[in-house]
Amino acid sequence: MHLIHQTENGQIVQADKENCFYMTYKGMEYKMNVCSFIAFKSKIDTYNLELMLMSDVTKNDLEIIPLCNKDRFLVLTLEEMIEVKHLVQGALVMLELNSIVHQRINRANLV
Amino acid sequence: MKDLLRQRVAVQDSIIKKLNNQVKLEAQASAAYLAMAAWCDQNAYDHSAKFFYEQSSEEREHMMKLFHYISDMGGIAVSPAVAGSQSEFSSLKEVFETALENEINVTESINQIVSDCRKNNDFATENFMQWFVKEQVEEEFVIRRILDYFEMLGEDPKSLLMIDERVGGVSYGE
Ligand SMILES: [Fe+2]
Ligand SMILES: [Fe+2]
C-alpha cells in the first residue's frame, strides 16, 4: 500500500497487489480500479464549484456523485466537494509524477 | 510503487482534456455548417448548400476520429453539448466569411494542441494531430478561394449564381 495523497478528512492509497486504489473519505472506503478512478476524476472536474458557490439555488448545496458505474454514490456538501476535488486532483498529480519517475529512472536505462 | 496510471492510460490527463475540447469544437463546426447549408437551401444556392452539407458530415467525422483516439488511449471521451449556431445571414458572402472564421479558430486550437504535445513529449498524439493540421490547410484554402470569387465577380445576382456554381469545383491540389 502506498499513500498517494491525503487531505484533512480523506486519503487515496494505491494497492500494488490488487492494481487498484482505495479512497477513504470521512470513514467510508471506496475501492476503484484505474479506469474508475480516471472516470471519477473526470466527473469531479466537470463540477464548477465557483458557480455552485455563487448560486442561490438551494439544490446546489448537496451533490450526488456516482462512483464505479453507479455501484455507489457519494453525497457531498459543497465544502466536502472542494476537499474531495483537491484530494482527487492532487492524487492524479502524484500519480503523474510517479509515471515521470518511472520513466526517468527505470525506462531511461533501456536506451 | 507500480506505475498503474501508465499501464492503463497512454495519454496525459491534461492532453485528454484538450482533445475533448477539440471534440466539442468539431461538433460545433458540424452544427454550424448544417445551419449554413439550411440557409443556402432556403436561398436557392444549391451548390453551396451541398458544399455545407458535406462539410457538416466531414466535421462529424473529425469529431469521431478524435473521440475514438481518446477512448483507445484509455481516456474518457465526452459527448459534447453543442450550443446553438448562427442561422441568419445577410448574404452568401457572409456565410463563407463566417465559415472561414470558424475554420481559423479550429486551426488555432489544433496548433495549440500540437504545441502542448511537444511540450509534454507526447509524440503519439502529436503524430495523430498532424492529420488535422494538414486537413485545416485544405479547408482554409478552399473557403479562401471561394471568397476570392466574390472579390473577382462582385455580388450582383448573376455573379452570385456563377459563384454558387463554382463552389463544388474548388479543391486543394498539393
Ligand atoms: Fe474539422
Ligand atoms: Fe473544418
Query: Could you tell me the distance, in angstroms and rounded to a whole number, from the CA of residue B85 to the centre of ligand 1?
Result: 16
Q: Which CATH superfamily is domain B12-79+88-167 in?
A: Ferritin, core subunit, four-helix bundle (1.20.1260.10)
- The mean pLDDT of chain B is 95
Domain residue spans in chain B?
12-79+88-167
Phi–psi pair at A71, nearest 5 degrees: -65, -35
What is the domain extent for residue A43?
Answer: 2-110
For A3, which residue in chain B has the nearest alpha carbon? B1
State the complex-level ipTM: 0.82
- Tally of domains within chain A: 1
Q: Please give the average per-residue pLDDT across B120-133, as a whole number.
A: 96
Please give the share of chain B, as a percent, with pLDDT higher than 70.
Answer: 99
What are the phi and psi torsion angles at A77 (to 5°)? -80, 170
**Cβ-based neighbours of B102, under 8 Å, separated by 6 or more:** B29, B32
Residue B61 has pLDDT above 80, yes or no: yes
Helix, strand, or coil (residue B54): helix
Q: What is the pLDDT of residues A21-57, one digit of tens each?
A: 999 999 999 999 998 899 899 889 888 888 888 877 6
User: Distance from B128 to chain A by nearest Cα, in Å?
Assistant: 22
Residue B72 C-alpha, separation from nearest chain A C-alpha, in angstroms = 13
Contact B4 A19 (CB under 8 A): yes
**A16 to chain B: which residues are within 8 Å by CB?**
1-2, 4
A19 touches chain B (CB under 8 A): yes
Contacts of A39 in chain B (CB under 8 A): 76
pLDDT score at A111 = 59
| Angle between the N-to-C axes of helices B123-153 and B46-72, in degrees from 0 to 180, rounded to the nearest 10 | 170
Alpha carbon of B164 to ligand 1 centroid (Å) = 22
